[in-house]
């Protein structure tokens, strides 16, 4: 069959697939249906992935993944050096086999809330490579020290650490209270600290303990979709408040219908890196006191700052204790550790401790014990200091290379802290299409539009992570990305 006919056939089948599915799944389903309907009979030679992706206007990896799924399920077979063919085995079957449901595509059995969560997912299965944002360099972690500490506590003499835990490991809470006092100018007792499994659990616990179904929650726009999805799953009325150069910028009209809870990342807003101004900090704290709102302060990367002046936390500024501070070890240690901590006001400690124990059960005491000694022995601060230097160098290499190649066609946001930079376009670039083309060329980036709850007001841009990319690989990847960006800028100029 002529390749042009196959492309037209697949385009027809693609339009019939549910739009909520990922493109690779829709492509797989379209190909499979054409095979099962006999429109692509056994023995039909399929177009190559490169040419088919070009003709369909999608990334090559999308078509490649669809072909791999078809091959795994027996619908196509490949001959080395001779392309892919519809399986001859299908004509030996009396009738076409009932297609197996692709794992992950079923939606009709979900609750309305479950369907919304599944449809709203923006996380990526790709967690490595230039320039995946939010990913630390795990290869530089002091493995020998961490392995020794784990071994010290994972033995029969410490078997009590393998039981259920209530309230977390005491020495770790003491170490964290001292650390926060020095680095974040926070006065809190170890009793106020809860140990949790990641910042998502912290936000979920706050939502369950402080809000009722239908209460209003504010998030930053653009902002981290993980917090947004957790709040929506809790049944809250989530409203996205746009940012400006001074951080989150609620209007007087917004304050007339205030939230019960708001999620902020004031020291380094994710993903833009904007710092909440002092004037805005004081305003938010004053308004929160006035209307009885709670502030969740997500301080996800406070350790990774590239200047010598740490910013005071909102928790430390609050006189009325309306702030709950959330810190995570995913960026400075490693994401798989899945340990975070939360500092709550004194009068909430008992209720939150009970809520955490009842809803989630506590454990990971061996890890907590190892972490406490890791901090007390100075390994934690030494590791942070070393990684700051590594990350600063990588940030500067990326800034230099893209600055040289793209010049004034992009604007940079952030870079004073964290693991990523945001590049903004003044031209009407389709950042999702740009990211797809970059991925097809082997470069991982995240379109800024994905971070908006209201896509109609999204600003085109790219979120680029530099932390986990070795120094010698940054420039080659940046060269590839710059070429893709230039192509899309030219397209935007022709359209304009």
Q: What is the pLDDT of residues 281-297, one digit of tens each?
A: 999 999 999 999 999 99
CA 10 to CA 52: how far, in whole Å? 10
Among 473, 412, 399, 465, residue whose Cα is nearest residue 136: 465
Average pLDDT over residues 235-257: 95
Q: Residue 163 has what pLDDT?
A: 85
Query: Percent of the chain beyond pLDDT 90?
Result: 59
Average pLDDT over residues 121-150: 84
Q: Residue 96 has what pLDDT?
A: 46
Contacts 24+ apart (CB under 8 A), 334-338: 334/136, 334/138, 334/141, 335/127, 335/135, 335/136, 335/138, 337/367, 338/197, 338/198, 338/364
Q: How many CA atoms lie within 13 A of 467 on its CB side?
A: 30
Q: Residue 403 has what pLDDT?
A: 94
Q: Residue 127 has what pLDDT?
A: 61
Query: Percent of the chain beyond pLDDT 70?
Result: 93
Residue 1 has pLDDT above 80, yes or no: no
Q: What is the pLDDT of residues 180-231, one digit of tens each?
A: 998 888 899 999 999 999 999 999 999 999 999 999 999 999 999 899 999 9
Q: What is the pLDDT of residues 337-371, one digit of tens each?
A: 889 999 999 999 999 999 999 998 888 899 999 99
Q: Residue 173 has what pLDDT?
A: 96
Q: What is the DSSP string of 374-401?
A: HHHTTHHHHHHHHHHHHHHHHHHHHHHH
Q: Of 31-45, 91-105, 133-147, 375-389, which gets the smallest average pLDDT?
A: 91-105
Per-residue pLDDT band for 116 (boundaries 50, 70, 90) equals confident
Q: What is the pLDDT of residues 74-98, one digit of tens each?
A: 889 885 557 888 888 777 654 444 4
Phi and psi at 481, nearest 5°, equal: -65, -40
At a CB cut-off of 8 Å and minimum separation 6, what does 341 contact? 173, 176, 193, 194, 195, 196, 326, 327, 328, 329
Per-residue pLDDT band for 105 (boundaries 50, 70, 90) equals low
Among 113, 214, 220, residue whose Cα is nearest residue 453: 220
Residue 109 has pLDDT above 70, yes or no: yes
E-strand stretches of 9-161 = 45-46, 76-78, 84-86
Contact 423, 411 (CB under 8 A): yes
Q: Residue 102 has what pLDDT?
A: 47
Mean pLDDT, rounded, of the chain: 89
Contact 343, 190 (CB under 8 A): no
Q: Are strands 294-298 and 76-78 parallel, antiparallel or unpaired?
A: unpaired
Q: What is the pLDDT of residues 317-340, one digit of tens each?
A: 888 889 999 999 988 999 888 899
Per-residue pLDDT band for 309 (boundaries 50, 70, 90) equals low
The DSSP secondary-structure symbol of 260 reads: S
């Amino acid at each position: 069959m002529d390749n042009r006919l196959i492309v037209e056939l697949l385009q027809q089948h693609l339009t019939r697939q549910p739009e909520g599915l990922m493109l690779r799944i829709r492509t797989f389903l379209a190909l499979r249906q054409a095979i099962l309907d006999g429109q692509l009979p056994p023995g039909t030679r399929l177009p190559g992935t490169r040419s088919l992706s070009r003709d369909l206007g999608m990334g090559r990896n999308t078509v490649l993944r669809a072909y791999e799924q078809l091959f795994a399920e027996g619908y196509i077979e490949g001959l080395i050096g001779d392309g892919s063919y519809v399986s001859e085995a299908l004509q030996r079957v009396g009738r076409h086999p009932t297609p197996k449901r692709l794992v992950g595509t079923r939606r009709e059995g979900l609750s309305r809330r479950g369907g919304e969560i599944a449809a709203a997912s923006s996380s990526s299965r790709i967690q490595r490579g230039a320039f995946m944002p939010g990913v630390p360099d795990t290869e530089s972690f002091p493995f020998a020290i961490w392995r020794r500490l784990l071994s010290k506590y994972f033995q029969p003499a410490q078997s009590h650490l393998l039981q259920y835990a209530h309230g977390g490991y005491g020495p770790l809470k003491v170490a964290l209270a001292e650390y926060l006092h020095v680095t974040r100018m926070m006065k809190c007792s170890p009793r106020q600290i809860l140990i949790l499994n990641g910042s998502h659990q912290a936000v979920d616990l706050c939502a369950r303990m402080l809000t009722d179904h239908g209460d209003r929650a504010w998030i930053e726009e653009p902002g981290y979709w993980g917090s947004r999805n957790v709040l929506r799953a809790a049944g809250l009325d989530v409203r996205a408040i746009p940012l400006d150069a001074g951080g989150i910028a609620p209007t007087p009209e917004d304050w007339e219908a205030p939230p019960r809870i708001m999620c902020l990342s004031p020291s380094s807003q994710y993903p833009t890196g904007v710092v909440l101004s002092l004037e805005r900090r004081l305003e938010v704290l004053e308004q929160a006191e006035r209307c009885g709102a709670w502030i969740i302060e997500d301080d996800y990367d406070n350790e990774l700052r590239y200047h010598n002046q740490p910013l005071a936390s909102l928790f430390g500024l609050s006189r009325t204790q309306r702030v709950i501070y959330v810190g995570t070890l995913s960026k400075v240690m490693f994401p798989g550790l899945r340990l975070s901590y939360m500092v709550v006001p004194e009068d909430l400690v008992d209720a939150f401790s009970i809520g955490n124990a009842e809803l989630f059960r506590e454990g990971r005491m061996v890890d907590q014990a190892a972490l406490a000694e890791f901090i007390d022995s100075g390994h934690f601060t030494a590791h942070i200091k070393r990684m700051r230097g590594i990350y600063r160098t990588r940030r500067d290499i990326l800034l230099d290379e893209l600055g040289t190649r793209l010049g004034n066609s992009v604007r940079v946001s952030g870079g004073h802290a964290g693991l990523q930079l945001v590049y903004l376009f003044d031209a009407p670039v389709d950042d999702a299409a740009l990211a797809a083309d970059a991925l097809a060329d082997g470069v991982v980036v995240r379109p800024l539009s994905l971070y908006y709850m209201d896509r109609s007001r999204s600003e085109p841009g790219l979120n680029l992570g530099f932390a986990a990319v070795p120094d010698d690989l940054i420039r080659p990847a940046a060269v590839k990305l710059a070429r893709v960006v230039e192509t899309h800028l030219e397209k935007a100029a022709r359209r304009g």
